[in-house]
Structure 1
Amino acid sequence: MKVCIAEKPSVGRDIARILGATTDHRSYMEGNGYQVTWTFGHLCELKEPGDYCENWKHWSLAALPMIPPRFGIKLIDDKRIKEQFNVIKKLYDNADEIINCGDAGQEGELIQRWVMQKANVKCPVRRLWISSMTDEAIRDGFAHLREQSDYESLYLAGVSRAIGDWILGMNATRLYTLKYGRNHQVLSIGRVQTPTLALIVQRQKEIDNFKPEPYWVLSTVYRDTLFTATSGKFTNKEDGEKAFALIDGKPFTITSVVKKNNTEQPRQLYDLTSLQVDCNRKFGYSAEMTLNTVQTLYERKFTTYPRVDTQYLSDDIYPKCPDIMNGLFMTSFANNRPYAELIRPLGGKKLKKTKRVFDTSKVTDHHAIIPTGVPPRGLTDVELNVFNLIALRFISVFYPDCKFATTTVIGSVQPDDRKPIDFKATGKEILDPGWHVVYGMYDVSPTDNDTKADNDTRSLPHFEKGESGPHKPTLTEKMTTQPKHYTEASLLRAMETAGKFVEDEELRAALKENGIGRPSSRAGIIETLFKRHYIRRKRKSLEATETGIALIDTIKEKLLTSAELTGIWEKKLRDIEHHKYDPAMFVNELKKQIENIVKDVLTDSSNKYIE
């Protein structure tokens, strides 16, 4: 008998239907030579400190650091989980072969491997590895099952991550709680959550300490067009007034008119983080809400596997794209086919194929998030919004580049016996909207950042070099503006790039290797900070609480608060996954680091206390 195990009952029942296992035994399905069962996410976890040592059951500074000689796992203490595990173990004990059908990612691998370890599996194991839950993908996956050993490094990366989080979290949380919380306040420390909190606290301090300062901008209006001085702003009013006096009443002359044609490529396909960013900016959805929604869309076969950090498709997906387009063409919501008119111009011709979309070398386990081609039905408003973003992004990458012209006009005023003062005006003219047409009928912006204004889209009148005439200069007082609070969108980007503010897509992609947390875990980290009352929401803004600020102020070890250092850890975990780093070395490094942290904190003679 072949035993298949999925991560959720709904997924297991879908697989059972495809395999012909139609007899329902409540905790598993059976038929056609298969038994199909499931977990409920994690059934096992790493043992707690008290499971290793009686002395570790009680919180004590003298017991730190706690480093077990060998880490072990145990069943989560839950009646339903224990009952399901007993069913799974019985099926495993009588299996000729096990097929691991867990989610095709690091966490899914860890979940199923731990269950197999706990059940003491002896029989051969193969792996189902698919990127969507469509019937076709499941059938194809079972036709091309892989060896479990192919994913050993994926498991080692997952278990190294779990052990690293245990070593740092268990020890540092007890250490800081006992030393600075004095048993009145649990101070939760985590390998990812603490540097994430540090980012928010640092921004909060920049805002709290910000003092606005005035500056003055010299500009002028010529032929109803605003020109701004190229010399920049004035930090004191007197200098600005002097410059104003020099040009007042003098003629304004156009010295340069430059028009350049440019193109703008379609935005790249979604990975999980960019989807969470857009959902937060456009709809105010939390990262966790977006993750849960796109996970549901995946399980209902409407979109592909969501927990991905690539924005590319492998080349073998290209032949499937016309069928996906056809599925979107036929998609109907409330008797309206929203994508039909967008897809119609692409019909009857070969879809364009570019390296910006199709690049197998940029895809490891899974490709970018795209529709499957299965027309969705029965979507909630939230599911519809998320699906719509994914569908529009997929359609748009096959459209032509946007073509536009930018015009830069330089004018100058010649004061008496002085160097000319230059002014500039810019304009943008759309020559061919290209892929922007896809977004024209929707109230969604395709832009990926909310801090950079679009190019000036105003149209300029026709100017001739050498023309001259009167103008109206102005000196405008402005104030410097404080930094913006993080939103979930901008925080996700900061986590993705280890705290560095990056607008350029290619540079941001390069920094992903050193981001903090995995794309699938970042939403949970942010929610943990809320639950610990270290941060709070104020509309869309994230603010650090007094407790959160006090905690970061107390932690002096950069290892715990530096997003960059944590990003280096994440890089090592990715390298373990790709056979480039030794998992034992990663764990041993953390053991040494926690020993040093404990030593430094215990020798702190200050009388700090966090309420």
Structure 2
Amino acid sequence: MSMTVILAEKPSVAKNIADALKIKTKQDGFYEGPNYIITWAFGHLLQLYDAKDYDTKMAKWKLDNFPFVPETFHYKVKSNPRNRDTADPGAKKQISIVKRLMQRRDVEKIVSACDYDREGQLIGDSIIRYIKPNKPVYRLLLNEWTEQEVLRGLQTMRPNTELTPLYDAGIGRQWADWVIGINLTSVATLRYQSGRGKVLNIGRVLLPTLKIIYDRDEEIRLFKPEPYFKLLATFRTPDKEFYEGVYKEDKTDKFKDREPLQNILQQIQGKQGQIKDKQTEDKKEWCPPLFNLSGLQGYMTGRYSGWTSDKVLKVAQTLYEKKYITYPRTSSTALEESLVGKAAGVLKKVAAGLPYESEIKFTRSKRVFNNSKVSSHSAIIPTYVLPKRLTPDQELVYAAIKNRFIMQFMPVAVYQETTLETVIPEVSLSGSFISKGRIQLVDGWKKVEKQQTKETLLPDVQKDMIVDTWETSVTSHMTQPPKPHTEKTLLRVMETCGKGKQDEEEVEEVLRGFSIGTPATRAETIKKLKDIHYISNKGKELHVTDTGRKLVDTFPVKPLFDLTFTGRLEKTLADIEDAKVGREEFLEMIFSFTKDAVQTMKQDEAAPIRTIEKQTLTYEVLGKCPACGGDVVEGYKGFGCKNYKKSCSFIIWKADKFLGSMRKKPTKTMVKALLKSGTAHVKGLTSKRGKKFSAYLSYKKNTDNEYYSWNMEFEKK
């Protein structure tokens, strides 16, 4: 029997494929059934060589060693995060399993089922090229992992060679970022940092993103508030009802000088007004478009405190892997026209039982189904698989996606706007008083999220009606600086390189690919800028730190801060995907730019950007190592056993991810308690919803590998 090996990007996706094929037999690292073997990666199983792997002299950073660009690029099994000189044991084991499966004699065909994007293509192709199975390779291209789609996709696979341009774009991105990162980060750290312990990160996407926040902070810092004035009048109708009007002249109601308005005020006091004009118009409000990733991230971070764009992506990814939503890493806000039938079926499922179900009508509109607005992947929508059990975070993200989908098929919201123009006949004025009223006539799509519209009611008046001028006042105001960036506004600028309509819900369609980063990497970029302390957040506001400001002010490689320069690089990668440009042309440009940038830094005489004070470590013994009995002391990066470099693997990292997820870092007191009694009572932990709590933590060796894991309990045993 001839077998086909399917390589998925993650174990959860492999299970979805196995479920669709009704394969229940799970082995160590794969599923096997009639005709199919399904195995998986853990994202990237391979990574590019480190610089020292090419040349041992690169093990030490010296200015003379740079610029460094390998003649050919090589891959190795992903490094162990605890010891970068060794391979990650999990990755090493899994790639050997994948290799054995692909080289089996009964296997005639290989299918890459990694995500249908630049990174997914790179993950699958790099593993297959590393193994060299010398068998035909096909590509499974799906937008969701439901059973129907998996079975349909297996019938419509494409030869993997047709996806070579996508692989070339992935290679171009990976090699370019490696060369820029290795060279510019190393040289910048050597030239512009005083003290050791950190690196001065320089990146193709990091720096222009930093510059966006820097520029906004500078606008706010340099902003000089200026006063302006308004003239308000309250009028009384014959029925003794009141309405307010704002004085408008030459299309403005804001005036630089108070005196002219004060003169008008004195002239009109006690005089009667007349309604010169009344205009009533029904206006339509269309619902916002379907979500792309940036739109979803902006919506969630703007609506819920404590949410970051990185968190939104992670939660959306879990929903995708559980088959509840379509592919989240998309830049499109419309659906392919071929999805009309599928969307109708999904709508019927998700709309069932809603109180406004009778108002939902499926239509094939160009606002929703439009091939010209889709690049690679359609917008994010629910699938026909309805979730049974979700975490609170998943519920919020799923509800946002589902509601936005349903809104597209609800009636348009309609409001009635009334504009009154009131004049003072006895006084010769070049302007008049304008009043606006608004009444919601049709809630339409606003019912889905129970949006309340503020109504402004005007009294029932008619043209030419005489009214009393009841009260008048001149009010003083100050011009306001621009608002600090939030993740929502920053994502919008990154998405369009500042060329879109940044203050509107619907971003303008721009040239495909002309952006900073991709939907998949923007959240990671913002998170990294925070982690390396180039930016900080104050609530939802993002601000540049002193280090970030000095970097922008003094770092001499100015093109890296230029949105247009970075946008062109991303556009070139999109052109490689579309087979309009070859990857060699792009890489040559990147290598040349990097070499010039290194020379620029070497010749620059700028002062240090960051000075790191030397930490004084006492090497106080905190307790005995549970693994080998050695002394546990505090190091720069963690609390570890003194025998760590020899044979012992016990360490509690200061940047521990488990504790970090609860906004906590390990302390000496915590470590002492863990070593003494096996548990530590830790206060001030923060839940995903932002609530503080306490728990008993233990840190114990896993039974099946050499690593240690945390355990949390709420009552002491």
Return the TM-score normalized by structure 2: 0.78
Contact 1:195–1:561 at 8 Å: present in 2 too?
Answer: yes
Query: Counterpart amino acid of 1:551?
Result: L
Residue 280 of structure 1: how far off its partner (Å): 0.8
Residue 419 of structure 1: how far off its partner (Å): 4.0
Secondary structure of 2:508's aligned partner = helix
Alpha-carbon distance between aligned partners in 2 of 1:239 and 1:45, rounded to the nearest angstrom = 71
Secondary structure of 1:391's aligned partner = helix
Comparing 22-31 and 4-13, the one that deviates more: 22-31
Alpha-carbon distance between aligned partners in 2 of 1:575 and 1:415, rounded to the nearest angstrom = 68
| Structure 1 residue 367 corresponds to structure 2 residue 375 | no
Which residue, 317, 322, 325 being the options, matches 1:300? 322
| Structure 1 residue 164 corresponds to structure 2 residue 166 | no
Contact 1:269–1:370 at 8 Å: present in 2 too?
Answer: yes
Secondary structure of 2:509's aligned partner = helix
- Equivalent residue, structure 1, for 2:356: 342
Alpha-carbon distance between aligned partners in 2 of 1:5 and 1:269, rounded to the nearest angstrom = 31
Contact 2:535–2:543 at 8 Å: present in 1 too?
Answer: yes
- Equivalent residue, structure 1, for 2:347: 325
Alpha-carbon distance between aligned partners in 1 of 2:426 and 2:512, rounded to the nearest angstrom = 52
- Equivalent residue, structure 2, for 1:12: 14
Contact 1:555–1:561 at 8 Å: present in 2 too?
Answer: no
- Equivalent residue, structure 2, for 1:384: 395
Residue 511 of structure 1: how far off its partner (Å): 5.9
In terms of fraction of residues, the more helix-rich structure is: 1
Query: Counterpart amino acid of 2:441?
Result: L
Contact 1:8–1:39 at 8 Å: present in 2 too?
Answer: yes
Residue 597 of structure 1: how far off its partner (Å): 1.9
Residue 174 of structure 1: how far off its partner (Å): 1.5
Comparing 267-276 and 579-588, the one that deviates more: 579-588
Which residue, 85, 99, 102 being the options, matches 1:92? 102
Secondary structure of 2:32's aligned partner = strand
Contact 2:282–2:417 at 8 Å: present in 1 too?
Answer: yes
Which residue, 54, 57, 60 being the options, matches 2:56? 54
User: 1:556/1:222 Cα in 2 relative to 1: closer, same or farther (>3 Å)?
Assistant: farther
Query: Counterpart amino acid of 1:283?
Result: Y
- Equivalent residue, structure 1, for 2:78: 76
In terms of fraction of residues, the more strand-rich structure is: 2
Runs of 4+ displaced beyond 4 Å: 504-507
Which one scores higher on RCO, CA 8 angstroms, separation ≥ 6? 1
Contact 1:97–1:124 at 8 Å: present in 2 too?
Answer: yes
| Structure 1 residue 531 corresponds to structure 2 residue 531 | yes
- Equivalent residue, structure 2, for 1:600: 600
Which residue, 301, 304, 317 being the options, matches 1:283? 304
- Equivalent residue, structure 1, for 2:467: 469
- Equivalent residue, structure 2, for 1:181: 193
| Structure 1 residue 356 corresponds to structure 2 residue 370 | no
| Structure 1 residue 106 corresponds to structure 2 residue 136 | no
Comparing 75-84 and 423-432, the one that deviates more: 423-432
- Equivalent residue, structure 1, for 2:336: 314
Contact 1:310–1:362 at 8 Å: present in 2 too?
Answer: yes
Structure 1: 5+ residue stretches without partners: 331-338, 446-453
Alpha-carbon distance between aligned partners in 2 of 1:149 and 1:243, rounded to the nearest angstrom = 77
| Structure 1 residue 121 corresponds to structure 2 residue 133 | yes
Query: Counterpart amino acid of 1:192?
Result: V
Contact 2:275–2:462 at 8 Å: present in 1 too?
Answer: yes
Alpha-carbon distance between aligned partners in 1 of 2:609 and 2:440, rounded to the nearest angstrom = 60
Alpha-carbon distance between aligned partners in 1 of 2:53 and 2:493, rounded to the nearest angstrom = 37
Percent of residue pairs identical: 33
1:398-413 alignment runs, 5 A limit: 398-413=409-424
Alpha-carbon distance between aligned partners in 1 of 2:606 and 2:365, rounded to the nearest angstrom = 60
Query: Counterpart amino acid of 2:132?
Result: N
Contact 1:215–1:236 at 8 Å: present in 2 too?
Answer: yes
- Equivalent residue, structure 1, for 2:247: 229
Alpha-carbon distance between aligned partners in 2 of 1:21 and 1:127, rounded to the nearest angstrom = 20
Secondary structure of 1:96's aligned partner = strand
Contact 1:496–1:512 at 8 Å: present in 2 too?
Answer: no
- Equivalent residue, structure 2, for 1:431: 441
What per-residue deviation string (whole Å, max 9, x for no partner) do you get for residues 378-413 of structure 1?
Answer: 111111111111111111111222222222222233
| Structure 1 residue 154 corresponds to structure 2 residue 166 | yes
What per-residue deviation string (whole Å, max 9, x for no partner) do you get for residues 537-569 of structure 1?
Answer: 211111221111111112243311122321121
Contact 2:331–2:375 at 8 Å: present in 1 too?
Answer: no
What per-residue deviation string (whole Å, max 9, x for no partner) do you get for residues 21-46 of structure 1?
Answer: 43322211112022111000111122
| Structure 1 residue 251 corresponds to structure 2 residue 272 | yes
Residue 93 of structure 1: how far off its partner (Å): 1.7
Secondary structure of 1:203's aligned partner = helix
Instruction: Tell me the number of residue pairs that the alignment of Structure 1 and Structure 2 aligns.
Output: 587
Alpha-carbon distance between aligned partners in 2 of 1:59 and 1:182, rounded to the nearest angstrom = 14
Alpha-carbon distance between aligned partners in 1 of 2:473 and 2:188, rounded to the nearest angstrom = 57
Query: Counterpart amino acid of 2:190?
Result: L
Contact 2:290–2:333 at 8 Å: present in 1 too?
Answer: yes
Alpha-carbon distance between aligned partners in 2 of 1:256 and 1:511, rounded to the nearest angstrom = 45
Return the TM-score normalized by structure 1: 0.91
Secondary structure of 2:416's aligned partner = strand
Alpha-carbon distance between aligned partners in 2 of 1:554 and 1:240, rounded to the nearest angstrom = 49
Alpha-carbon distance between aligned partners in 2 of 1:466 and 1:313, rounded to the nearest angstrom = 51
Query: Counterpart amino acid of 1:23?
Result: T
Alpha-carbon distance between aligned partners in 1 of 2:297 and 2:188, rounded to the nearest angstrom = 33
User: 1:173/1:240 Cα in 2 relative to 1: closer, same or farther (>3 Å)?
Assistant: farther
- Equivalent residue, structure 2, for 1:482: 481
Alpha-carbon distance between aligned partners in 2 of 1:415 and 1:571, rounded to the nearest angstrom = 63
User: 1:248/1:286 Cα in 2 relative to 1: closer, same or farther (>3 Å)?
Assistant: same
Alpha-carbon distance between aligned partners in 1 of 2:214 and 2:425, rounded to the nearest angstrom = 50
User: 1:17/1:420 Cα in 2 relative to 1: closer, same or farther (>3 Å)?
Assistant: closer
Contact 2:173–2:573 at 8 Å: present in 1 too?
Answer: yes
User: 1:179/1:15 Cα in 2 relative to 1: closer, same or farther (>3 Å)?
Assistant: same
Comparing 223-232 and 32-41, the one that deviates more: 223-232
Contact 1:19–1:32 at 8 Å: present in 2 too?
Answer: no
Secondary structure of 2:410's aligned partner = coil
| Structure 1 residue 238 corresponds to structure 2 residue 266 | no
